Amino acid sequence: MGILEGKRILVTGVLTDASIAFSVAKLAQEEGATVVLTGFGRLSLVERIAKRLPEPAPVLELDVQDTDQLDTLASRVGEHVGGLDGVVHSIGFAPQTALGGNFLNTSWEDVATALHVSTFSFKSLAVACLPLMKEGGAVVGLDFDASRAWPVYDWMGVAKAGLESASRYLARDLGKQGIRVNLVAAGPLRTMAAKSIPGFKEFEESWPSRAPLGWDLTDTVPAAKACVALMSDWFPATTGEIVHVDGGVHAIGG
Ligand SMILES: NC(=O)c1ccc[n+]([C@@H]2O[C@H](COP(=O)([O-])OP(=O)(O)OC[C@H]3O[C@@H](n4cnc5c(N)ncnc54)[C@H](O)[C@@H]3O)[C@@H](O)[C@H]2O)c1
């Protein structure tokens, strides 16, 4: 029996089969969950990628900047599953001007977009799913350690710091409904989002040698395993937490 047997999970953020969300959806199904996906923009691509999962999974449209799509999300998900036990937020975006060393010159409009899509949407998505989570459940988001300033990550780093804080406030406000809220802080992975960061190579070059456990830039499974574990019944008293899945880099100085 899998650790998500009988659970119904909404997974956002599948774009390609390199997406962290793709690994989460695949592993969740292998662990017994029924999975519903949301996709943004390139829906036919997402539908094609979804066919590579062990089981067919419906794909619903969700742009987290679109209030109508958020408002109708619960009823649209409800056409496929009677409720939700888990929700995965695997969404991030920042305009090019907000990344790559342009920190001092980025306009507020571009920063606002980064924060809307990458930070505020964690709250929007959780709240949109509440009508389906009457029996409690788990919300998990994907983070990149925001406790320090990194090269090139710039306003995305600020967005992730906000995500870490928003996660704690969500944990505070949703705890009484039996909903746990946690983040997985993954090390760098070669996904579409990562490739769009100018200078991402800097992370790629240093991370594997700095990580006590080593680090495979192409393996999304360790981060996905943590997401699945956090949605299982094996973290019943854990909320507001950040689990680092980075080969151990966060713990090492120098
Ligand atoms: N790749 C890494 O190195 C890394 C490391 C740590 C954390 N993360 C985080 O993991 C999450 C998933 O990213 P990924 O690396 O798998 O890349 P990805 O490009 O595969 O996924 C990013 C997803 O965000 C979605 N998205 C963008 N704008 C959206 C919007 N307005 N509404 C809804 N969805 C939108 C995209 O469609 C895409 O599916 C992000 O939060 C990212 O910051 C990535």
Atom 42 (ligand 1): residue with closest C-alpha?
A: 92
In angstroms, what is the span from residue 201 Cα to ligand 1's centroid?
A: 18
This prediction has a pTM of 0.98
The neighbour count for residue 233, using CB atoms within 10 Å, is: 11
Contacts of 105 (CB under 8 A, 6+ apart): 97
**Residues 239, 154: Cα–Cα separation, whole Å:** 27
- Is residue 243 within 8 A of residue 224, CB to CB? The reply is no
Q: What strands, in cross-sheet order, belong to the sheet with 86-89?
A: 59-61, 34-39, 8-11, 86-89, 137-143, 179-186, 242-245
What pLDDT digit, counting tens, does each position of 196-223 carry? 999 999 899 999 999 999 999 999 999 9
Q: Which residues are marked as active site?
A: 153, 160
What pLDDT digit, counting tens, does each position of 60-103 carry? 999 999 999 999 999 999 999 999 999 999 999 999 999 999 99
Q: Which atom of ligand 1 is nearest to the CA of 65?
A: 31
In angstroms, what is the span from residue 1 Cα to ligand 1's centroid?
A: 30
In angstroms, what is the span from residue 193 Cα to ligand 1's centroid?
A: 5
* Ligand 1 pocket, residues with Cβ under 6 angstroms: 13-16, 19-21, 40-41, 62-65, 90-93, 117, 142-144, 186, 188-189, 191-194
- Is residue 74 within 8 A of residue 129, CB to CB? The reply is yes
pLDDT of residue 253: 87
Residues of the chain with pLDDT under 50: none
- Is residue 57 within 8 A of residue 25, CB to CB? The reply is yes
